[in-house]
Structure 1
Amino acid sequence: MASTSYAQNDGAAQQPAASADSFIDIIFSGGIVGFLIVSLLVLLSIAGMALAVEHLLTIRRKNLIPDELVAGLTESLAQGQVGHAVQKCESYPSALGAMTSAALAEVEAGWPAMEKAMEEEAAEQAGRLFRKIEYLSLLGNIAPMVGLLGTVVGMILAFREVADTQGAARAGQLASGIYQALVTTVGGLLIAIPSLAAYAVFRNRVDGLMAETVSTTRRLLVPVKKILLKRQNNQPGQST
């Protein structure tokens, strides 16, 4: 009885190691194809995390609408110093600086031309940011496809086992392929769901920040707009 108890204890002690080995064996049971699928899922997860962190650090209000630039433009444009305002925009590369600089470049053509230039630059800046976050959406769409590929490979392995045993395969023999199919499917979904959620969050952030940038640019250009409209209204009387 004692020897039987010791044997049972030894078997229980060895069971976790066997489970760990079987897990690794199952993950790579698909051969080179299974290894490539798992490696691709790992790379996609790393890429998704890197993109999310990079977007958190770059798509921020202080990067698109620097407070120092707002203060400098407010002072320069209030005094009518257009050239100094353009230099300020060049000193602080940002969406606000690009839009304000584009508008001031058309100051001689009048306010309608300035407004059109500002809107075109705003569209370009928004498009650049949307293209930047589009990679998260791409990851969210690719990851389930990679997981589905792993599912198909796992089912092929399971049915191959059935074919090799002429239908006499036991559940344990089929478990390897089915387990791999489920693991890769879950892996793909675990990458896709956070990626798509992060894409939605950053898309809304870009929308909000670009709307605020346009509003801030219009507010900063109010002194210039008043001067140009006043000059335009006085021109008919002067020519007469």
Structure 2
Amino acid sequence: MKSGHRWLIFLAAAIVLCGATGVLAMQPPDGANVVVNEVPDRSLDLREMLRAGGAVGYLIVMLSLVMVALIADHVMNIRRSTLMPPGLAEEVHRCLAERNFDEAKKRCREHTSFLARVLHAGLDEIGVGYNAVEKAMEDAAAEQMARLYRRIEYLSVIGTIAPMLGLMGTVWGMIQAFLEFELKANPQVSELAPGIYRALITTLLGLGVAVPSLSAFAIFRNRIDELVAEATLLAEHVFADYRRALQMRKKSRERTSPE
């Protein structure tokens, strides 16, 4: 099984585990005494949770949809075959060996990928020397890596905002519950419970979005670090023969030059 498939399975398992944990947390313990005739079943369904969450709950649900779309997009784009198209390094290496630099640039322009942009930056400095080529590739790799980080940064933002929105909804719901409790003539403590549990729904929704969002952000960040390092090393290997050829010509000129 490929490593890319393994971490996708791990992400799906983590999301399922978080959902299962949330469901189990809402179930009563085995030893709890439940009076069937006096206490009705209060298990929560999604419709009731959304109704209790109010406007803040719907906003958190919208964030969850954005999160799912972002994860799907990153799964398709942050992978080895997308950042490093198969055969591109071999084609550019062959063109360099034939000193057909225009053809090498054309091959890079045909692929809008991380490796293609790094190689194209190096090819633009091909007549200046290898030091300039290496510096151009390092700058291009740093720029492309920053762009990849900015794309996944939205998952971190969602993972930070969602629980804050949930907390805000909970605080507002608690205020409403206590205000309603205060207006009653002879209030009972049990009358306060419905308002409190409804207020806590938004916190549950916020955490339900934050956990998979931050988990996906960490996985994609590590994935980017791994693929960027691999692509940068591959780009250096593409220019390895060109660098050796320059060094040999330089040594040959030094031997033949008069003292």
**Which of 99, 113, 121 is equivalent to 1:80?**
99
Q: Spell out, residue by residue over 1:1-30, the C-alpha distance to the aligned partner (whole angstroms, 9 max, x if none).
A: xxxxxxxxxxx9xx77x9889x74x8546x
Alignment correspondent of 1:222 = 240
**Which of 139, 144, 149 is equivalent to 1:125?**
144
Paired with 1:27 and 1:101, the residues of 2 have a C-alpha distance of 51
Alignment correspondent of 2:26 = none
Alignment correspondent of 2:203 = 185
Bigger-Rg structure (1/2): 1
Contact persistence 2:50–2:58 (CA under 8 A): no
Paired with 1:20 and 1:134, the residues of 2 have a C-alpha distance of 33
**1:36-47 superposed matches below 5 A:** 36-47=55-66
Helix, strand or coil at the partner of 1:109: coil
Q: CA deviation at 1:238?
A: 5.5
Where is the helix percentage greater, Structure 1 or Structure 2? 1
Q: Spell out, residue by residue over 1:147-186, the C-alpha distance to the aligned partner (whole angstroms, 9 max, x if none).
A: 10111012101210222125x3224432232112221111
Q: What letter corresponds to residue 35 of structure 1 in structure 2?
A: G
Percent identical among aligned pairs is 40
**1:1-240 superposed matches below 5 A:** 24=48, 28=51, 35-165=54-184, 168-237=186-255, 240=258
Alignment correspondent of 1:8 = none
Q: Spell out, residue by residue over 1:64-92, the C-alpha distance to the aligned partner (whole angstroms, 9 max, x if none).
A: 10013123123212222221111100011
Aligned residues: 219
Q: What letter corresponds to residue 231 of structure 2 in structure 1?
A: T
Q: What letter corresponds to residue 83 of structure 1 in structure 2?
A: D
Paired with 1:71 and 1:49, the residues of 2 have a C-alpha distance of 36
Paired with 2:149 and 2:171, the residues of 1 have a C-alpha distance of 34
Structure 1 vs Structure 2 CA RMSD: 2.3
Helix, strand or coil at the partner of 2:127: helix
Q: Residues 19 and 140 (structure 1 numbering): CA distance in 2 closer, same or farther, change over 3 Å?
A: closer
Paired with 1:27 and 1:93, the residues of 2 have a C-alpha distance of 42
Helix, strand or coil at the partner of 2:187: coil
Contact persistence 2:90–2:238 (CA under 8 A): no
